[in-house]
């Protein structure tokens, strides 16, 4: 089958300061899995939003089945047979599965009929779902099922999937791929967006590669090496972090039966986390989103105080210490969410430097902040970590994700921590910034600090960790040396439980 389903011709969309899509043209054939490949910021999201009717292109045309196609809004796209599974933001936590699905349909049947159809279709595709459950209680994988079932109930001709595997365990990825292959065999086309090359090689027949908004090439991923595709995607060779052999010292941080209730209704409780982290080592903590990563970071940073004995810093019980007391003692942290948690969006970089640096950098005396020193600290971070910004007076939100992340990590590293805990240090960051951040973390560890990296990116963890452990529903697995771990080992560590859930739910 090589019949064209969707033809995109000269699509262009500009935002202030950036051309997200620049004269993009390609075709998707009927019954194929077509990969859209590119780095963060390459324009993949804008392109699929145009196809789904969420963004109006400035120029260019599309044709679906040879008929001009210009959806004014998502419902027009849906009625033309185009549906989409989102990466973020399309589920309502407080509503149940059936209600969530009904909201994504233009002519939903009655609720009782819908519930029955959800059961049928979800069983049929091997993705079982209970229509009455509240979505906020579901795991990341189950939430994605809700979105997929929502699309399948509308008999789509084209199914768009935006980074679908970033929230899944390897076992869940296998289930998803089986479903997608079944759909393809039934004649549905799939536009599959990802930057994970191995996945694309395993699943897709065709790939279009975007870089900085432009199509830079296409290939058959089954016959192209991951290295060649990466080169097309990035445009230059990458600097792989150098991992020196770790020489570990004394125990810097030890967690003993760290437990805490979920801090909010949709949070995860921590359950008996026990681990020691030595000076000079990087402990990588993997896990699928929503398994207690945020809560673990809050417990370490001091935003969520726990029983004093549960956390000990160089032997001292500190579980109930306040945030800045921990900083003074040498335990620093960098949370996942850059804008709004690690940094205040509308405040300047100088003010954001003072946000965590006041205690260790002596930026205040007698309660008065010395803004000149805060500014000097901010400029030091900008210089040392190559943060691209006109000046330290610019607002945090004016920086790109990668630059702000370099600022946030740099801010903590320059305070010379004894223990540093980071969550998702390179999430949504371009490849060169990610490499720089990883290198900085490795340098910090080789300088004698204990570093904990919480991440959902397994490649990253394998690259920089000395030991690896996995979080699953608030419990931490026994840490194992990272060297020699296979993908199967990691998969089992990440979620033997959540994989079996797939069959039992």
Partner 1 sequence: MNIDIAVFLASMMVAATPVIFAAIGELVVEKSGVLNLGVEGMMITGAICGFILANATGSVFLGVVAAAIGGALLSLIFATLTQFLLSNQVATGLALTLFGIGLAALLGKPYEGVRVDVIQPISIPVLSDIPVLGTILFSHDPLLYFGLFIVFAVWWFLTKTRGGLILRAVGESHDAAHALGYNVVRVRILAIMFGGACAGLGGAYLSLLRVPQWTENVTAGVGWIALAIVVFASWKPGRLLIGAYLFGGIGFLQLHLQVENVPIPVEVLNASPYIATIIALVILSAGKSGRSNAAPAALGQPFHASR
Partner 2 sequence: MITLEKRPEPSRGWSLATPLLAVILTVLAGGLVFAALGYDPVATIRAIFYEPIFGQNSFYYLPQLLVKAGPLILIANGLAIGFRAGIWNIGAEGQYIMGAIFAAAAGLAFYPSESFLIWPLMITAGAVGGLLWALIPAILRVKFGTNEILVSLMLVYVAENILSSAAVSWLRNPEGMGFPGSRNLSQWDAASNPEIIAGTGMHWGVAAACIAVILAYVLMARHILGFQIRLAGQSPRAAAFSGVNPARLVLICMGVAGLLAGLAGMFEVTGPARKISIDFNVGYGFTAIIVAFLGRLHPIGILLAGLLMGLTYIGGEVAQQSLGLPLAAIQLFQGMLLFFLLAVDVLTHYRPKRTQRAAS
* 467 is a contact residue toward partner 2 (CB under 8 A): no
**382 touching partner 2, by CB under 8 A:** no
> Of partner 1, partner 2, none, which one does residue 252 interact with (CB within 5 to 8 Å by kind)?
none
**Of partner 1, partner 2, none, which one does residue 356 interact with (CB within 5 to 8 Å by kind)?**
partner 2
**Contact call for residues 174 and 203 (beta carbons, < 8 A):** no
Give the residue, chosen from 87, 90, 259, 398, that forms a contact with partner 2 under the rule CB under 8 A: 398
Residue 499 contacts partner 2 per CB under 8 A: no
| 3 state DSSP class of 238 | coil
Distance (Å, rounded) from C-alpha 487 to C-alpha 59? 44
In the bound state with partner 1, the residue whose beta carbon lies nearer, of 66 and 340, is 340
Among 59, 111, 178, 265, binds partner 2 (CB under 8 A): 59
User: Site residues for partner 2, window 251-310 (CB under 8 A)?
Assistant: 301-303
Question: Near partner 2 by CB under 8 A, which window of 2-10, 108-116, 175-183, 319-327?
Answer: 319-327
- 347 near partner 2, judged by CB under 8 A: yes
Contact predicate 363/369, CB 8 Å: yes
Binds 409: which of partner 2, partner 1, none (CB < 5-8 Å by kind): none
* Residue 73 interacting with partner 2 (CB under 8 A): no
Given a contact cutoff of 8 angstroms between Cβ atoms, the answer to whether 214 and 238 are in contact is no
Residue 402 touches partner 2, criterion: CB under 8 A: no
Is the CB of 94 or the CB of 328 nearer to partner 1? 94
Please identify, using beta-carbon distances, which residue of 289 and 347 lies nearer to partner 2. 347
The tokens describing 76, both together, are 């027009």
Residues 6+ away with beta carbon under 8 Å from 130: 97, 505
Choose the binding region for partner 2 from 80-88, 113-121, 232-240, 323-331 (rule: CB under 8 A): 323-331
Rounded to whole angstroms, the Cα distance separating 371 from 181 reads: 59
Cβ atoms of residues 474 and 292 within 8 Å: yes
Question: If you write DSSP's letter for every residue of 188-211 in order, what string do you get?
Answer: -EEEEEES-HHHHHHH-SEEEEEE
Q: Is 32 exposed, middle or buried (0-12, 13-18, 19+ CB in 10 A)?
A: buried
CB of 60 to partner 2, least distance (A): 8
What torsion, rounded to 10 degrees, do the Cα atoms 430, 436, 438, 442 define? 180
Q: Are strands 82-85 and 158-162 parallel, antiparallel or unpaired?
A: parallel
In order of 65, 73, 327, 350, 441, the CA distances from 152 in angstroms are 20, 19, 50, 49, 43
Q: With binding defined as CB under 8 A, does residue 372 bind partner 2?
A: no
Q: Is 121 in the site for partner 2 (CB under 8 A)?
A: no
By CB under 8 A, residue 67 contacts partner 2: no
Closest CA to 357 of 327, 392, 335: 327
Closest distance between partner 1 and the C-beta of residue 263, in Å?
A: 13
Which residue, chain included where needed, has tokens 């086309």? 189
Footprint on this chain of partner 1 (rule: CB under 8 A): 15, 45-46, 49, 53-55, 73-75, 78, 86, 89-95, 99, 102-104, 108, 134, 136, 265-266
25 makes contact, choosing from partner 2, partner 1, none, with CB < 5 to 8 Å by partner type, with none
Q: Which does 91 bind (CB under 5 to 8 A by kind): partner 1, partner 2, none?
A: partner 1
Interatomic CA distance for residues 462 and 458, integer angstroms? 6
Q: Residue 117 has which token pair?
A: 């159809």
Q: Cβ contacts of residue 460 below 8 Å, gap of 6+? A: 426, 434, 438, 453
Tell me the two tokens of residue 221: 């991923």
Q: Which is nearer to partner 1, 261 or 362 (CB)?
A: 261
The correct pick among 2, 72, 223, 504 for binding partner 2 (CB under 8 A) is 72
Assess 205 for contact with partner 2 (CB under 8 A): no
The residue ranges that bind partner 2 (CB under 8 A) are 16, 56-61, 70, 72, 301-303, 322-324, 327, 333, 335, 337, 340-347, 351, 354-356, 358-359, 364, 367-369, 371, 394-395, 397-398
């Amino acid at each position: 089958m090589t019949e064209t389903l969707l033809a995109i011709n000269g699509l262009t969309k500009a935002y202030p300061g950036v051309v997200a899509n620049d004269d993009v043209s390609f075709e998707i054939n009927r019954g194929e899995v077509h990969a859209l490949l590119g780095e963060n910021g390459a324009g993949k999201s804008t392109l699929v939003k145009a196809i789904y009717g969420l963004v109006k292109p400035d120029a260019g045309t599309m044709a679906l089945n040879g008929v001009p196609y210009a959806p004014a809004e998502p419902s027009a796209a849906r009625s033309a047979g185009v549906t989409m599974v989102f990466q973020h933001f399309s589920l309502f936590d407080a509503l149940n599965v059936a209600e969530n699905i009904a909201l994504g349909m233009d002519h939903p049947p009655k609720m009782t009929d819908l519930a029955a159809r959800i059961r049928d279709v979800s069983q049929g595709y091997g993705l079982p779902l209970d229509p009455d459950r509240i979505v906020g209680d579901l795991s990341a994988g189950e939430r994605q099922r809700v979105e997929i079932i929502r699309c399948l109930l509308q008999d789509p001709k084209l199914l768009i999937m935006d980074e679908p595997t970033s929230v899944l365990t390897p076992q869940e990825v296998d289930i998803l791929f089986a479903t997608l292959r079944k759909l393809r065999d039934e004649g549905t086309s799939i536009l599959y967006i990802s930057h994970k090359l191995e996945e694309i090689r395993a699943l897709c027949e065709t790939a279009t590669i975007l870089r900085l908004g432009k199509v830079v090439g296409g290939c058959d991923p089954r016959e192209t090496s991951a290295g060649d595709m990466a080169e097309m995607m990035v445009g230059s060779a990458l600097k792989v972090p150098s991992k020196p052999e770790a020489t570990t010292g004394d125990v810097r941080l030890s967690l003993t039966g760290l437990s805490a209730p979920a801090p909010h209704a949709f949070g995860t409780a921590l359950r008996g986390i026990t681990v020691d982290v030595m000076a000079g080592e990087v402990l990588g903590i993997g896990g699928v989103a929503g398994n207690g990563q945020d809560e673990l970071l809050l417990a370490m940073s001091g935003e969520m105080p726990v029983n004093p004995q549960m956390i000990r810093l160089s032997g001292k019980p500190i579980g109930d210490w306040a945030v800045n007391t921990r900083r003074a003692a040498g335990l620093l942290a960098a949370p996942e969410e850059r804008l709004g948690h690690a940094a205040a969006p509308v405040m300047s970089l100088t003010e954001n430097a003072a946000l965590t640096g006041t205690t260790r950098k002596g930026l205040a005396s007698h309660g008065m902040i010395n803004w000149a020193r805060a500014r000097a600290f901010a400029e030091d971070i900008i210089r040392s970590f190559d943060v691209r910004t006109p000046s330290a007076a610019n607002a945090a939100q004016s920086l790109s994700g990668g630059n702000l992340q370099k600022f946030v990590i740099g801010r903590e590293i320059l305070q010379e921590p004894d223990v540093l805990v980071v969550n998702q240090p390179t999430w949504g960051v371009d490849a060169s910034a990610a490499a720089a951040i990883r290198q900085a973390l490795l340098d910090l560890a080789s300088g004698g600090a204990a570093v904990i990296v919480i991440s959902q990116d397994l490649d990253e963890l394998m690259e920089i960790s000395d030991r690896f452990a996995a979080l699953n529903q608030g419990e931490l697995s026994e840490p194992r040396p990272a060297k020699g771990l296979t993908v199967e080992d990691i998969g089992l560590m990440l979620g033997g439980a959540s994989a079996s859930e797939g069959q039992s739910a």
